[in-house]
Amino acid sequence: MSSSTRSADLGSPPAPVRRFRGGWRIVAAKEFTDHVRSVRFLVLVALISLAGLAAVNSAAGPIRDAAEAASETPSIFLFLFTLSPDRLPAFHEFIGILGPLLGIGLGFDAISGERSQRTLPRLVSQPIHRDEIINGKFVAGLSAVGLALAVVMAIVGGYGALELGVGPSWSDLARVGAFFVVTLAYVGLWLALAIVLSVYTRRAATAALTAIAIWLLFTLFGGLIAGLIADAVHPVGAEASAEQVLRNARLELNVRRVSPDQLYRDATGVLLNPSQRSTGILLTDQVGALPSELPLRDSLLLAWWQVITIIGAATALFTAAYVRFLRQEVRA
Amino acid sequence: MEPVSTTPAVAATGEAGLDDRLASDGPAIEAVGLTKRYGASTAVDELTLSVGRGEVFGLLGPNGAGKTTTILMLLGLTEPTAGTASVDGLDPSRDPLAVKARVGYVPDEVGFYDDLTALENLRYTCRLNRIERREAERRIDEALDDVGLLDVASRPVGTYSRGMRQRLGLADALVKRPKILILDEPTVNIDPEGVRELLLLVERLRTDQGVTVLLSSHLLHQVQQVCDRIGIFVRGRLRACGTVDELADELDDRWVFDIGVADIDQPRDLLERLPGVSGCTRSEGRWLVHADHDIRIDLHRAVVAAGGRLFHLARREADLDAIYHRYFEGGERELEHTIS
């Protein structure tokens, strides 16, 4: 505190309140920069890229075979994202499993971090509306997720195109675009969950652990639980009829659809695979005689309710966070 | 609420905040019957207060007295249960953005983004206040210079000491060029030298820029020197308000003398027999004598007449300690009363 204080220009005309519009953009820009510069973000992108490359690499053999066997198959490029040899998940399944981590990682301390660093009172005393803080943070998280996905998909697509010499057609690109949007919504759902937890819990660690517990419950144990429920309701004995087996399988699938992971798999499976005609279980006699390809519009029609459910759940979670945050006391 | 002002022109413009010159006639901060309840407990109870422009006002009270709640209501960060507030002629609950734009607020234990440098933290504040970039850089430089942090401006705030953070908090409020500065417990956690510098800076801001300052504290000695007026706040109620002298006048025993006597067998008897003395207590080897008027001459005579020696005689200034204790003890007694 050395030099003299300068005189303030108290005489300057005050600007109208209108100039304080769009504060969420300022918050979003700052948060986005923070995300992209953070180690956390780099680690998550590296992790997902590695998983993606592993999936594509192991799919390389089958893709070559497929390309040789059926030269008339027009969408070889999409196999990059869907083909799963052996017991390794395909790329889109990997994203289904690891994508949530990206959302959780970027959102679990959104609000509680401001509280623990004691920056919240300072932030809310600036001329912005309080909802612009949480809106800006959500937009920033979603943008960072979008960037991460674009990077990962570019790496995987580029690697596949170079290594295998398969390039995308325009319709492939449209499908990849649709896949991107659905993935963004799916990771956005987990981001919204993480933000809700960051509003409700005081400590970031609690929010992170809770989010990861929910993630494990759905992605790892979801299938297990669904199987148990299906077996309990429709037991499949040694001499079970085909109908019993089918009922069991249908119930299991429906129970699994409680999990966003399954919804995401359904939707992206259909979007990335033009020859897939249903998100459910198909019997051979229901499949058309000719394995013709569906236009993207029809694939979207097949996946629409899964997509709507994902977006709806994300919206509901974000709304919960929004309402709670607006009602919270600054010092709470 | 209409802007609180005696000028009819302000009311006529309708839209508060569009013209500073008109709004700047009334008091800088005004609260009328301001009340905040959380469930059954009352954090702030019918606070009525007026702080003039360019005044340094100290809100004094123990922790949990409702000081921070009052500040949050003045900033529009929490809704009052009843009553109204006016800051620079604006209603914080109706026009919070305009209020926040002109009030610099340094919260209790101010925090910053630890990974960002001081510069980056202040740039964010400037962007949130829509200060144009070049102007922002100029103001940041000035503010950091004012608080003596210019040479560490590029270090992450995570490496700062508490005192440095507190000063950065002040710089953060100053980049807005606020008309009103609200400091919540600004002297907590900083060393005495830091406190002195901070208070000097506050004084300079008031003198050079005419900034109105509202500061809250539970440390009376520190704020006594800079505050024009002081409000004593106990359990949500403003129990007394005025200059230090005014508050002292309300004390019954504002004449307190610190004396040292020797060669007298029963000094207490002698002292208590003097006319006007209400009591005396032993304190650090000397005596504290409370009286209702100036008894120095009588006291001196009495000691000498008794054959004793007087080696120390001083009048204790009417300090905030006495004032503070009186109101706080009063508060405690009231509390006991309500419990029993």
A13 contacts B100? CB cut-off 8 A: no
Mean pLDDT of A221-241: 80
Q: State the pLDDT at residue B8.
A: 39
A6 contacts B172? CB cut-off 8 A: no
* Nearest-neighbour CA in chain A from B158: distance (Å): 10
DSSP element (H, E) containing B180? strand B180-184
Chain B residues touching residue A2 (CB < 8 angstroms): 145, 148
Q: What is the pLDDT of residues A39-51, one digit of tens each?
A: 999 999 999 999 8
| B79 in A contact zone (CB under 8 Å) | no
Examine the domain organization and report whether B98 and B191 are in the same domain: yes
Nearest to B82 by CA among B117, B114, B109, B43: B43
Chain A residues touching residue B201 (CB < 8 angstroms): 1, 5
Give whichever of A4-13, A68-77, B99-108 has the largest mean pLDDT. B99-108
CA atoms within 13 Å, Cβ hemisphere of B187: 24
Q: State the pLDDT at residue B16.
A: 39
The answer to whether position B143 is within a domain reads yes
Examine the domain organization and report whether B221 and B258 are in the same domain: no
The closest CB to that of A119, out of B111, B145, B146, belongs to B111
Nearest residue of chain A to residue B139 (CA atoms): A6
Interface probe, candidates A125, A130, A331, chain B, greatest B C-beta count within 10 A? A125
d(CA B34, CA B84) in angstroms, rounded, equals: 6
**Rg of chain B (C-alpha set):** 24
Examine the domain organization and report whether B146 and B260 are in the same domain: no
A31 vs B305: which has the higher pLDDT = A31
Total domains present in chain B: 2
| B304 in A contact zone (CB under 8 Å) | no
Examine the domain organization and report whether B117 and B193 are in the same domain: yes
What 3-state class would DSSP assign to A270?
Answer: helix
Examine the domain organization and report whether B224 and B268 are in the same domain: no
Examine the domain organization and report whether B209 and B129 are in the same domain: yes
Contacts 24+ apart (CB under 8 A), B267-274: B267/B308, B270/B302, B270/B303, B270/B306, B270/B308, B271/B299, B271/B302, B273/B302, B274/B298, B274/B299, B274/B302
The answer to whether position B211 is within a domain reads yes
The answer to whether position B57 is within a domain reads yes
pLDDT category, B234, cuts 50, 70, 90? confident
- A285, pLDDT greater than 80: no
- DSSP assignment letter at B77: S
**DSSP of B243-297, one letter per residue?**
-HHHHHHT-TT-EEEEEEEES-S-HHHHHHHSTTEEEEEEETTEEEEEESS--HH
The pair of three-digit structure tokens given for residue B239, joined into one six-digit string = 């129990």
Q: What is the pLDDT of residues B58-113, one digit of tens each?
A: 998 888 888 999 999 999 999 999 999 999 999 998 989 999 999 999 998 899 99
- A6, pLDDT greater than 70: no
* DSSP strands (E only) in A128-224: none
d(CA A81, CA A63) in angstroms, rounded, equals: 11
- A64, pLDDT greater than 50: yes
- B153, pLDDT greater than 60: yes
Examine the domain organization and report whether B190 and B272 are in the same domain: no
For the ranges A76-90, A315-329, B232-246, which has the lowest average pLDDT?
A76-90
Give whichever of A90-99, B71-80, B308-317 has the largest mean pLDDT. B71-80
Q: What is the pLDDT of residues B264-285, one digit of tens each?
A: 888 888 888 888 888 888 877 8
Examine the domain organization and report whether B60 and B205 are in the same domain: yes
Q: What is the pLDDT of residues B23-35, one digit of tens each?
A: 456 899 999 999 9
Q: What is the pLDDT of residues B172-192, one digit of tens each?
A: 999 999 999 999 998 887 888
Q: What is the pLDDT of residues B287-297, one digit of tens each?
A: 888 888 888 88
B positions 205-224 inside 8 Å of A (CB): 205, 208-211
CATH of the domain at B272: 3.30.70.100
Domain that holds residue B273: 252-317
- DSSP assignment letter at A28: H
A272 vs B180: which has the higher pLDDT = B180
Mean pLDDT of B40-68: 90
CA distances from B252 to A149, B221, B248, B291 (A): 75, 21, 9, 9
* Nearest-neighbour CA in chain B from A46: distance (Å): 22
CA distances from B109 to A321, B85, B115, B220, B317 (A): 26, 25, 18, 18, 32
Mean pLDDT of B144-169: 92
pLDDT category, B239, cuts 50, 70, 90? confident
The closest CB to that of A126, out of B128, B142, B148, belongs to B128
The answer to whether position B263 is within a domain reads yes
Is residue B102 within 8 A of residue B23, CB to CB? The reply is: no
Q: State the pLDDT at residue B31.
A: 93
Interface probe, candidates A2, A4, A5, A118, chain B, greatest B C-beta count within 10 A? A5
List B291's β-bridge partners, or say none.
B255, B277
The answer to whether position B87 is within a domain reads no
Q: State the pLDDT at residue B115.
A: 93
| B68 in A contact zone (CB under 8 Å) | yes
CATH of the domain at B224: 3.40.50.300
Examine the domain organization and report whether B115 and B185 are in the same domain: yes
Q: State the pLDDT at residue A223.
A: 78
* Nearest-neighbour CA in chain B from A40: distance (Å): 13
Chain A residues touching residue B78 (CB < 8 angstroms): 329-330
The pair of three-digit structure tokens given for residue A9, joined into one six-digit string = 């220009």
List B36's β-bridge partners, or say none.
B44
The answer to whether position B292 is within a domain reads yes
The answer to whether position B147 is within a domain reads yes
Is residue B89 within 8 A of residue B5, CB to CB? The reply is: yes
d(CA B332, CA B334) in angstroms, rounded, equals: 5
Nearest residue of chain A to residue B167 (CA atoms): A1
Examine the domain organization and report whether B165 and B216 are in the same domain: yes
Q: State the pLDDT at residue A24.
A: 94
Phi, psi dihedrals of residue B109, rounded to the nearest 5°? 50, 65
Mean pLDDT of B35-43: 90
The H helix count followed by the E strand count for chain B is 13, 13
CA A181 and chain centroid, separation: 9
B316 vs B304: which has the higher pLDDT = B304
Q: What is the pLDDT of residues A140-163, one digit of tens each?
A: 999 999 999 999 999 888 888 887
Examine the domain organization and report whether B117 and B102 are in the same domain: yes
pLDDT category, B335, cuts 50, 70, 90? very low
Give whichever of A89-103, A214-228, B75-89 has the largest mean pLDDT. B75-89
B18 contacts A4? CB cut-off 8 A: no
B positions 144-203 inside 8 Å of A (CB): 145-148, 167, 169, 172, 177, 179, 197-198, 200-201
Chain B residues touching residue A8 (CB < 8 angstroms): 177, 209-211
| B132 in A contact zone (CB under 8 Å) | no
Q: State the pLDDT at residue B159.
A: 95
Chain A residues touching residue B112 (CB < 8 angstroms): 117, 119, 122
| Amino acid occupying residue B255 | W
What 3-state class would DSSP assign to B191?
Answer: coil
pLDDT category, B340, cuts 50, 70, 90? very low
CA distances from B97 to A15, B16, B17, B86, B332 (A): 12, 12, 10, 13, 39
**What's the burial of B93, exposed, middle or buried (CB within 10 Å: 0-12/13-18/19+)?**
middle
The pair of three-digit structure tokens given for residue B303, joined into one six-digit string = 């000691």
B321 vs A310: which has the higher pLDDT = A310
- Given strand B277-283, what is the order of strands in its sheet? B277-283, B286-291, B255-262, B309-316
What 3-state class would DSSP assign to A75?
Answer: coil
Size of interface A-B (CB pairs under 8 A): 115
Examine the domain organization and report whether B162 and B198 are in the same domain: yes
Answer yes or no: is the ipTM higher than 0.90: no
* Nearest-neighbour CA in chain A from B293: distance (Å): 44
Percent of chain A with pLDDT over 90: 42
Q: State the pLDDT at residue B175.
A: 95
Q: State the pLDDT at residue A3.
A: 42
Mean pLDDT of A126-146: 95
Q: Tokens 């990974």 label which residue?
A: B115
* Nearest-neighbour CA in chain A from B93: distance (Å): 12
Q: B312: how many CB neighbours lie within 10 A of its CB?
A: 13
B81 vs A228: which has the higher pLDDT = B81
The pair of three-digit structure tokens given for residue A102, joined into one six-digit string = 């990206």
The closest CB to that of A2, out of B68, B148, B210, belongs to B148
d(CA B209, CA B186) in angstroms, rounded, equals: 20
The answer to whether position B333 is within a domain reads no
pLDDT category, B338, cuts 50, 70, 90? very low
| B85 in A contact zone (CB under 8 Å) | no
Of B220, B248, B276, the position where a domain reaches its end is: B248
The pair of three-digit structure tokens given for residue A325, joined into one six-digit string = 């945050």
A122 contacts B172? CB cut-off 8 A: yes
